[in-house]
Amino acid sequence: MTPAEATHRQAELALLSQAMLATTINPEKIDRIRPEDFSDERHKFIWRAISEEIRDGGSDCPSLVAVDRLRRAGDLEIAGGAEYIESFASWSSTRIIASFDKAAEAVLECSRLRRISTIAKEVAFSADGFGSSSALSGLKIALDAIDQNKETKVRPALHALTHNLEDAFRSGVRTATPLDRRIALTPGRMYIIGGRPGHGKTTLTLQIVLHMLTHNPDATALFASCEMTEVELALKALCCLDGRDFITPLRAGAGVDLVQMATVTQSPILERLFVKPCRSIDEVCADAHRLHRSQPLQCVVVDYLSAFSAPAGTVSETRSREVGAVSRECKALAQRLDCVVIAASQLNRASKAQTKPALIHLRDSGEIEQDSDGVMLLHRPDHDDDDDATAQLLIAKNRWGELGALDLVPDLANHRFGWSAKRHD
């Protein structure tokens, strides 16, 4: 046991002893401390039993009452057993222990230090290779967040409507497409673009990002792909921007000069699009933070969710839980960097191509739908008959707006879609 762990244990033992020996306990003091503030799993269950006794109207909670509550809840053994809980009286009689208030403060401070330690390790891991100054900067942000959370109060709804109301519905990042009217892509939020394999979800996602960069001259974006190399992504972006197919001539051994000429023309946009082939969401977050420190990112793309590994340290019993962890990390990244995060997601093949996709068809995890602020599903009913026939972008979830659909005109020979202003509700 390290000195820090010993200190935390002593603080918890002192508080639990004081709580079980006290003849009267103030409920407000109990509410200040949560089970999560204890490091010992046994103590979490014991504190929950004490808290429930006081909240149910009890004035105190001696060890016998705590044991009885734990036994009825089926948690007695995991809390250490009756003998362990009753030993608190003899433990306190052989020591001079702090008052309840001082013991409570010690437990809260130990809890705060553990959170700081955990965050520091996470920051150091994500910033590995980017210098100690970057890690310290990330740690400072995290510390500020802890201090703010410590002072968080439950406020009436009136307060929310009279303070900083403008932050709730900021304007979205301009794309100069019908998306601006139907589902504005707002910083701090995560959006999903779902599609069946081969229907063009990567193409559409990349095209939306290029629209952002085109119409926001100072914007930068990071595009992380699990399937394409840097050169392949860059070529796809060039085709979309220029409206020409450069890939087919290159495959035939020609077209290098055309690519170089088009690259010069489109360089003001391409130099602000960072591409990263990988399958680790931790790597994406680390690179996003590094880029954001030099120039704030407008958008981060993860293509596609179910192909990325969960954050380090995540324990996932099922594939659904693992994909859910990736989804939550994407949402957290949007909030931390205050940028738009767009994540592509595959749809289940089980749904027939002629059937309009729905939220239930998002592959691997229902948490994708829960975490996202907006979900757009690419629907191409005639895909098997004609690659360039018809397409729709179905707005299946829009947390702050209407649902509906947008008509698209596939132009996949040139790696893009055409936008139609026709409205479907």
* pTM (predicted TM-score): 0.64
Strands 374-379 and 190-195: parallel
92 closest CA partner among 5, 1, 9, 15: 15
pLDDT over 90 percentage in the chain = 27
- Which residues of the chain form CATH 3.40.50.300? 179-424
Read off the pLDDT of residues 136-188 as tens digits, 9 standing for 90 and up. Answer: 555 565 555 555 555 445 668 776 666 666 666 678 899 999 999 899 899 99
Phi-psi region of 110 (alpha: psi -120 to 50; beta: other; left: phi over 0): alpha
Strand partners for 379: 392
Confidence of residue 396 (pLDDT cuts 50, 70, 90): very high
pLDDT value of residue 100: 81
204 closest CA partner among 368, 419, 374, 425: 419
Read off the pLDDT of residues 119-128 as tens digits, 9 standing for 90 and up. Answer: 777 666 655 5
Name the residue with tokens 């690519």. 259
CA separation for the pair 371, 327 (Å, rounded): 7
Read off the pLDDT of residues 320-367 as tens digits, 9 standing for 90 and up. Answer: 888 888 898 899 889 888 899 999 998 876 545 557 888 888 887 678
Phi-psi region of 131 (alpha: psi -120 to 50; beta: other; left: phi over 0): left
Read off the pLDDT of residues 300-327 as tens digits, 9 standing for 90 and up. Answer: 999 888 889 887 656 667 778 888 888 9
Q: What superfamily does domain 179-424 belong to in CATH?
A: P-loop containing nucleotide triphosphate hydrolases (3.40.50.300)
DSSP of 146-211:
HHHHHT-----HHHHHHSSGGGTTPPPPP-SSTHHHHS---TT-EEEEEE-TTSSHHHHHHHHHHH
Number of C-beta neighbours around residue 97 at 10 A: 18
Read off the pLDDT of residues 277-297 as tens digits, 9 standing for 90 and up. Answer: 988 888 888 888 888 878 889
Average pLDDT along the chain: 82
Q: What superfamily does domain 3-114 belong to in CATH?
A: DNAb Helicase; Chain A (1.10.860.10)
Read off the pLDDT of residues 42-52 as tens digits, 9 standing for 90 and up. Answer: 999 999 889 88
Name the residue with tokens 């290098």. 256
Rounded average pLDDT over 244-270: 87
Q: Are 344 and 202 in contact (CB under 8 A)?
A: yes
Residue 238 has pLDDT above 80, yes or no: yes
Residue 385 has pLDDT above 80, yes or no: no
